[in-house]
Structure 1
Amino acid sequence: MKSIINLFMLIFFLHVGEVYAQTLYGTTLGEVSLYSDTPIETIQAVNKKSGAILNSSNRELVVQMKITEFVFPNKLMQEHFNENYMESERYPTATFKGKIKEQVDLETPGTYPVTAEGSLTIHGVSKPVTVKGQVVSNGTELKLDFKFQVKPEEYQIEIPSLVITKIAELIDISGKMSLAKR
């Protein structure tokens, strides 16, 4: 996972220009949860090893996670998620690359409602997304909370007709991350 974070940092440095003018915040232990609720079944899972880097100077944000790090209470459900739906061997990661729209000084302590716009890549498919959230800054650490929804069919995730009534049309995604100054 460290090599993934290092790769993100390199991408940031190449993309944004002069390294010395940047303040980066990051984590390798961010938490991302998914939740699906239908009258037949509730599905939930959590990934506690999501990586994120935020450049406070230009508000660019990258979040990446390994799909196989999602843990379900039911191991059979986890196996089906990875093998049948997400095809985790073929598409091992999900990635968000975007930018916080609001002109906020994230190095000044405070609570900031934010909107990030960017590209979400799941199952090998990239789509533009808008994610609402909140950043709480104490000056040296950022606490990031967010929520949004994804539609599996938009990411070419096939749900067999046998179980289509067990999986919600829209999957709730939420996250909590503590990013430390790098």
Structure 2
Amino acid sequence: MYTKLLLGFLTCIMLTAHNVKSVFVTKTAELTLFSEAPMEDIEATSKSAYGVINTDNGEIQFGVSIRSFRFRKSLMQEHFNENYMESDKYPTAKFKGKLNTPIDVSRDGLYQVTATGDLEVHGVTKKRSISGTVKVLNARLELSSAFNVKCEDHNIKIPSLVFKNIAETIRITLKGTFSTVK
């Protein structure tokens, strides 16, 4: 299902693009979540987040399969998917928005950007402005961003029994290298 969703997502973007050289994609972006808590820090990483950036119109989209996150401890991963994120019911997290700063892909450089759009996590969509950095290097884009997500904003329930084990705000870090569609 994840593969079909990804292929549909990328196909839709490619069909609507006027200039293929302005559409950059990745299927291997790294997304890390970090929860700092008194009892134990929790960290997980997915290396299969997908994304599309259209530098002509500034549109940007990202998605990640919730089940693609890997934890140090298998029990943490099980609890994350079954008890908190309900991965069978809400299999993906997505962001769709627009960059507020244009990117000149014709020359190498570093851009401080903000994307404004909709972040959907756990079936709840919230308007967000997310800052990051885009580095243009050798006709590729390297995107990095770090932002916080409050569990309560996306109706993610933390049982009172483990409330001290999980932070109310999760730190998300994104790193991805995008190439033009061929």
Please list, as runs of the form range in 1=range in 2, the aligned pairs for 1:7-156 lying within 5 A after superposition. Answer: 7-12=8-13, 19-22=17-20, 23-156=22-155
SS in 2 for 1:162: helix
Distance in structure 2 (CA, Å) of the matches to 1:106 and 1:170: 35
Q: Displacement, 1:168? A: 0.9
Structure 1 position 170, deviation (Å): 1.0
CA displacement at 1:33 relative to structure 2: 0.3
Paired amino acid for 1:100: L
Task: Report deviation, 1:59.
Answer: 1.4
Give, as a single letter, the amino acid of the residue that structure 1 aligns with 2:8: L
2:50–2:62 CA contact under 8 A, matched in 1: yes
- 2:14·2:23 contact (CA, 8 Å) conserved in 1? no
Q: The residue matched to 2:57 in structure 1 has which SS?
A: coil
Deviation (angstroms), 1:13: 5.3
Structure-2 change in CA distance of 1:168 and 1:70 (3 Å): same
Structure 1 CA distance for aligned equivalents of residues 89 and 5 of structure 2: 17
For the residues of structure 1 that align with 2:36 and 2:98, how far apart are their CA atoms?
Answer: 30
In the alignment, which residue of structure 1 is the partner of 2:167?
A: 168
Q: Which amino acid aligns with 1:181?
A: T
**Aligned residue number for residue 6 of structure 2:** 5
- In structure 2, list runs of 5 or more residues that go unmatched: none
Q: SS where residue 47 of structure 1 aligns?
A: strand
Indicate the RMSD between aligned Cα atoms, in angstroms.
1.5
Q: Check whether the contact 2:105–2:139 (CA below 8 A) recurs between aligned residues.
A: no
Instruction: Give distance in 2, aligned partners of 1:147 and 1:9.
Output: 24
- Using the size of structure 1 for normalisation, the TM-score is 0.92
Deviation at 1:98, TM superposition (A): 0.7
In the TM superposition, residue 21 of structure 1 has moved relative to its aligned partner by 2.9
Q: How far apart, in 2, do the equivalents of 1:6 and 1:107 lie? A: 28
Q: What SS does the corresponding residue of 2:8 show, helix, strand or coil?
A: helix
TM-score under structure 2 length normalisation: 0.92
Measure how far apart 1:139 and its partner are: 4.4
Contact 2:94 2:119 in 1 (8 A): yes
Q: How many pairs were matched up?
A: 179
Report if the CA contact (8 A) 1:107-1:138 is conserved: no
Separation (CA, whole Å) in 1 of partners of 2:68 and 2:74:
12
